[in-house]
A and B are shown apart, each in its own frame.
Chain A
């Protein structure tokens, strides 16, 4: 709480205030390479900074500035050591041993050791932790302290993508004593204490979170003395902030401004990678339109849609058309070819299948993915061009869309097709195929096209438990090819993740899990 009588007094100075209003973000630093404050405008006000409870990419990114997991993905999507120096999987795939980095301390002075790893993972798995989100990490049966610098994690079942899953912010290690220091409680952390390059300084709800440099960081030292993550929900305002020099970095500027921003001398647009696939999910049981049961009809829909034009006109280049039912960043990806835009072929296939002039209803959210509703409009337009009678419903807000229209059992489906995106939280096809197997029909999972192909299910089930990495990759690849041919979706594109920075900043990079890493940024 903060009283603000100051603002009232300032009213008197309204007219002269113009003189004193400028705000400088990176102060006059002596050395060119470090010092000062990096101001980052993000769209999301964190619900919580508790590593165990967060669910949002932006929040994960903040959490991971303060706390660190045992290992992480680098820019090339390969695993690199962080708090663990080495790891080994047992031959049966049921346990993993980690050798921990030694001499690391939490920012409150507590030593980092095996007990802290066990404490953090146990806490994340405990039902007593406020809205904790173990997700796939629920596969952990126990974490055992071997000695101060070794832990052994035992799984309930073999889970080959386990190491990838351990990169998630939920698996970050927190200082055990810090959870009982106010305002933290064992159930809910508000002020995370970890080993990361920055430490939590303050948070004003809805306004900003400030991080200070961790002077005793074990790795190479961060360059900025502080970073301020400013919460700015409106995309146009975020863009204005960076144009006005009041922020150094701005997330997700309005997509239609990307071309202009890319032209600007003072600004840099970074199209960060993402593992998010965007697709038009087709109601494959054909609840309203039985013709959709035929794979040939669904293939025809894929040929009818001009993906390149959509990427260019609705996404302003911030995407790549899909050539597999998953992003290139995932383990298990292989190219399956493309459905090239071919309206004549589509028309012929529809005619052959007796689906000429077929009626379709499409639904789409608005404000969830870049240009989402415009994409749905473009898809509807392309399908009309091949003679289909397409009704595109008014857009919905995401919570309503997800829980009432999309994440519903097959008999409650609301449309023939719906726009959806899916971004695995770690880079493994196991998570992508979650939405293509029948055990994940809503409301259990998000297989919202109710797609089921026994061969795909068998391959995926086998791959999910396969300890031989090459075989596993092969199985996912084969499953992907079958899915591509079955076309339960109109495969659209792999989204990119745009941010804009001033030319005064360098060293920011994006990861395929949609996080940007600002920890190692420096003044240019």
Chain B
């Protein structure tokens, strides 16, 4: 097991460098002279040239690439051209906000999604199932932006109970987490429902019932446990969606996380921060994938990594 983890981590390193190269290429292909954008529309050509030089953007692209990769090897993500701060500090000051939203909304999505899925499966083809399935479709298809605004209008403007935006109030996280969780709830509920339906008809569930186990035990210990693998896969995948969803959610709710940092940096053509943030997102996804794979082995002892 340990050697498996070590191997996976080692494989992750070249993957990350591949990711870094792709990010660098994408960012520089995107176009838009950063010096011009940073200098602002009214800047004189001298201002633009000086900024271009200060930021090293007058170097050939290959040189810029080598500098970027060299710095990355030394754990240095560079300096933001927008703020003049180290990219690492920029990311470190924003990451806790995004992690907070991602973790809370994952917990919400898993708890509510799995619960709804199990209820739907056990009420197969009756009105409760129909209601839950409709709700799931609704959740999956609802645009984040629209849902976000509706929640703001309801809870902040009309009911005056929750802050509409920002992170400097203790309850500020509630609306963005709910919004972020909404899509995943639907997705996880649907997956749980179908996984449970497959399992519920199998012999071992009938046997468990026959031996007199009570209903919750049958559902959770026997059926759900065996239905977990596809559900875990979906949750792992959802985590990536959450990071992506963070970009929109953080914008609507003025939440100062990594998604906002990424958007602001893209518009400002702050290449070092764009590269750094996407890199961190990629690393987080690789880590979550690894964690998901390890979880398989825990949930299903038949799966072994040697």
A residues lining the B interface (CB < 8 Å)? 1-4, 6-8, 10-11, 14, 17-23, 41, 45, 47-48, 53, 55-56, 127, 130-136, 138, 187-188, 204-208, 230-234, 236-237, 240-241, 243-246, 397-400, 402-404, 407, 422-425, 431, 443-446
Contact between B40 and A6, CB atoms less than 8 A apart: no
Contact between A204 and B90, CB atoms less than 8 A apart: no
Which range holds the interface residue count of chain B? 35 or more
Provide the residues of chain A in CB contact with B155, threshold 8 Å: 18, 21
Provide the residues of chain B in CB contact with A138, threshold 8 Å: 44, 46
Is B25 in the interface zone, CB < 8 Å from A? Answer: no
Is B104 in the interface zone, CB < 8 Å from A? Answer: yes
Q: Pick from A8, A21, A22, A45 the residue with the most CB of B within 10 Å.
A: A21
Chain A: minimal CB distance from B53 (Å): 9
Provide the residues of chain A in CB contact with B104, threshold 8 Å: 7-8, 11
Annotate B250-280 by CB proximity to A: 1 below 8 A, 0 otherwise: 0111101100110110011100000000000
Distance A138 CA – B263 CA, assembled complex (angstroms)? 33
A-B contact pairs, 28 of them (CB 8 A): A4-B100, A10-B171, A11-B104, A17-B171, A41-B165, A55-B43, A132-B50, A134-B47, A135-B43, A138-B46, A204-B256, A205-B93, A206-B257, A207-B168, A207-B256, A232-B166, A233-B254, A234-B254, A240-B165, A243-B157, A246-B164, A399-B268, A402-B36, A403-B33, A407-B33, A444-B45, A445-B45, A446-B41
Given contacts A207-B167, A240-B153, A431-B42, contact A131 B54 (CB under 8 A): yes
B residues 283-306 near A (Cβ < 8 Å) are none
Contact between A399 and B96, CB atoms less than 8 A apart: no
Q: Which residue in A7, A18, A187, A188 is a CB contact (below 8 Å) of B161?
A: A18
Provide the residues of chain B in CB contact with A21, threshold 8 Å: 155, 161-163, 169, 171, 174
Annotate B53-95 by CB proximity to A: 1 below 8 A, 0 otherwise: 0110000000000000000000000000111100001101110
Distance A464 CA – B45 CA, assembled complex (angstroms)? 19
Contact between B44 and A136, CB atoms less than 8 A apart: yes
Contact between B96 and A240, CB atoms less than 8 A apart: no
Contact between B163 and A246, CB atoms less than 8 A apart: yes
In the complex, which residue of chain A has the Cβ closest to the Cβ of B48?
A443
Provide the residues of chain B in CB contact with A446, threshold 8 Å: 41
Contact between B260 and A402, CB atoms less than 8 A apart: no
Contact between B39 and A241, CB atoms less than 8 A apart: no
Closest 7 CB pairs of A and B: A206-B256, A55-B40, A399-B32, A232-B254, A403-B33, A207-B256, A244-B156
Distance A230 CA – B8 CA, assembled complex (angstroms)? 43
B residues 180-236 near A (Cβ < 8 Å) are none
In the complex, which residue of chain B has the Cβ closest to the Cβ of A403?
B33
Other than A135-B44, A402-B41, give 10 A-B pairs with Cβ distance below 8 A: A8-B104, A10-B170, A21-B155, A47-B82, A131-B81, A133-B43, A138-B46, A205-B93, A231-B254, A233-B254
Given contacts A21-B161, A131-B51, A246-B156, contact A236 B96 (CB under 8 A): no
Chain A: minimal CB distance from B68 (Å): 20
Distance A130 CA – B33 CA, assembled complex (angstroms)? 18
Chain B: minimal CB distance from A493 (Å): 18
Contact between A130 and B84, CB atoms less than 8 A apart: yes
Is B173 in the interface zone, CB < 8 Å from A? Answer: yes
Contact between A407 and B254, CB atoms less than 8 A apart: no
Contact between A237 and B164, CB atoms less than 8 A apart: yes
Provide the residues of chain B in CB contact with A6, threshold 8 Å: 170
Distance A134 CA – B43 CA, assembled complex (angstroms)? 9
In the complex, which residue of chain B has the Cβ closest to the Cβ of A15?
B174
Provide the residues of chain B in CB contact with A56, threshold 8 Å: 40
In the complex, which residue of chain B has the Cβ closest to the Cβ of A434?
B42
Given contacts A22-B160, A127-B50, A133-B40, contact A1 B254 (CB under 8 A): no
Contact between B149 and A236, CB atoms less than 8 A apart: yes
Distance A241 CA – B165 CA, assembled complex (angstroms)? 7
Provide the residues of chain B in CB contact with A14, threshold 8 Å: 174
Given contacts A207-B256, A231-B254, A234-B252, contact A240 B44 (CB under 8 A): no
Contact between B32 and A404, CB atoms less than 8 A apart: yes
Provide the residues of chain A in CB contact with B89, threshold 8 Å: 1
Distance A290 CA – B121 CA, assembled complex (angstroms)? 70
Contact between A8 and B90, CB atoms less than 8 A apart: no
In the complex, which residue of chain A has the Cβ closest to the Cβ of B90?
A205
Provide the residues of chain B in CB contact with A53, threshold 8 Å: 84
Provide the residues of chain A in CB contact with B13, threshold 8 Å: none
In the complex, which residue of chain A has the Cβ closest to the Cβ of B173?
A7
Contact between B254 and A55, CB atoms less than 8 A apart: no
Chain B: minimal CB distance from A238 (Å): 8
Q: Which residue in B30, B42, B50, B173 is a CB contact (below 8 Å) of A424?
A: B42
Given contacts A10-B171, A208-B166, A403-B32, contact A237 B254 (CB under 8 A): yes
Distance A363 CA – B84 CA, assembled complex (angstroms)? 33
Contact between B152 and A240, CB atoms less than 8 A apart: yes
Chain B: minimal CB distance from A68 (Å): 21
Given contacts A8-B100, A55-B40, A403-B32, contact A234 B173 (CB under 8 A): no
Provide the residues of chain A in CB contact with B40, threshold 8 Å: 55-56, 133
Provide the residues of chain A in CB contact with B47, threshold 8 Å: 133-135
Given contacts A240-B153, A246-B156, contact A1 B103 (CB under 8 A): no
Q: Which residue in A8, A131, A240, A444 is a CB contact (below 8 Å) of B38?
A: A131
Given contacts A21-B163, A22-B160, contact A205 B94 (CB under 8 A): yes
In the complex, which residue of chain A has the Cβ closest to the Cβ of B101?
A7
Provide the residues of chain A in CB contact with B257, threshold 8 Å: 206
Contact between B171 and A2, CB atoms less than 8 A apart: no
Distance A240 CA – B157 CA, assembled complex (angstroms)? 6
Chain B: minimal CB distance from A445 (Å): 7
Provide the residues of chain B in CB contact with A19, threshold 8 Å: 161
Distance A22 CA – B171 CA, assembled complex (angstroms)? 9
Contact between A204 and B100, CB atoms less than 8 A apart: no
Provide the residues of chain A in CB contact with B45, threshold 8 Å: 443-445
Chain A: minimal CB distance from B38 (Å): 6
Provide the residues of chain A in CB contact with B37, threshold 8 Å: 399, 402-403
Chain B: minimal CB distance from A57 (Å): 10
Chain A: minimal CB distance from B107 (Å): 7
Chain A: minimal CB distance from B98 (Å): 10
In the complex, which residue of chain B has the Cβ closest to the Cβ of A208?
B168
Distance A20 CA – B163 CA, assembled complex (angstroms)? 10
Contact between B260 and A233, CB atoms less than 8 A apart: yes
Chain A: minimal CB distance from B137 (Å): 24
Is B14 in the interface zone, CB < 8 Å from A? Answer: no
Contact between B164 and A240, CB atoms less than 8 A apart: yes
Provide the residues of chain A in CB contact with B263, threshold 8 Å: 233
Contact between A230 and B33, CB atoms less than 8 A apart: no
Provide the residues of chain B in CB contact with A41, threshold 8 Å: 165
In the complex, which residue of chain A has the Cβ closest to the Cβ of B263?
A233
Provide the residues of chain B in CB contact with A246, threshold 8 Å: 156, 163-165
Given contacts A7-B173, A234-B254, A244-B156, contact A18 B33 (CB under 8 A): no
Contact between B54 and A130, CB atoms less than 8 A apart: yes
Is B97 in the interface zone, CB < 8 Å from A? Answer: yes
Distance A402 CA – B161 CA, assembled complex (angstroms)? 43
Provide the residues of chain B in CB contact with A398, threshold 8 Å: 267
Chain A: minimal CB distance from B114 (Å): 16
Provide the residues of chain B in CB contact with A134, threshold 8 Å: 47
Provide the residues of chain B in CB contact with A424, threshold 8 Å: 42
Q: Which residue in B100, B153, B156, B157 is a CB contact (below 8 Å) of A7?
A: B100
Q: Pick from A2, A11, A446 the residue with the most CB of B within 10 Å.
A: A11
Q: Pick from A206, A425, A446 the residue with the most CB of B within 10 Å.
A: A206
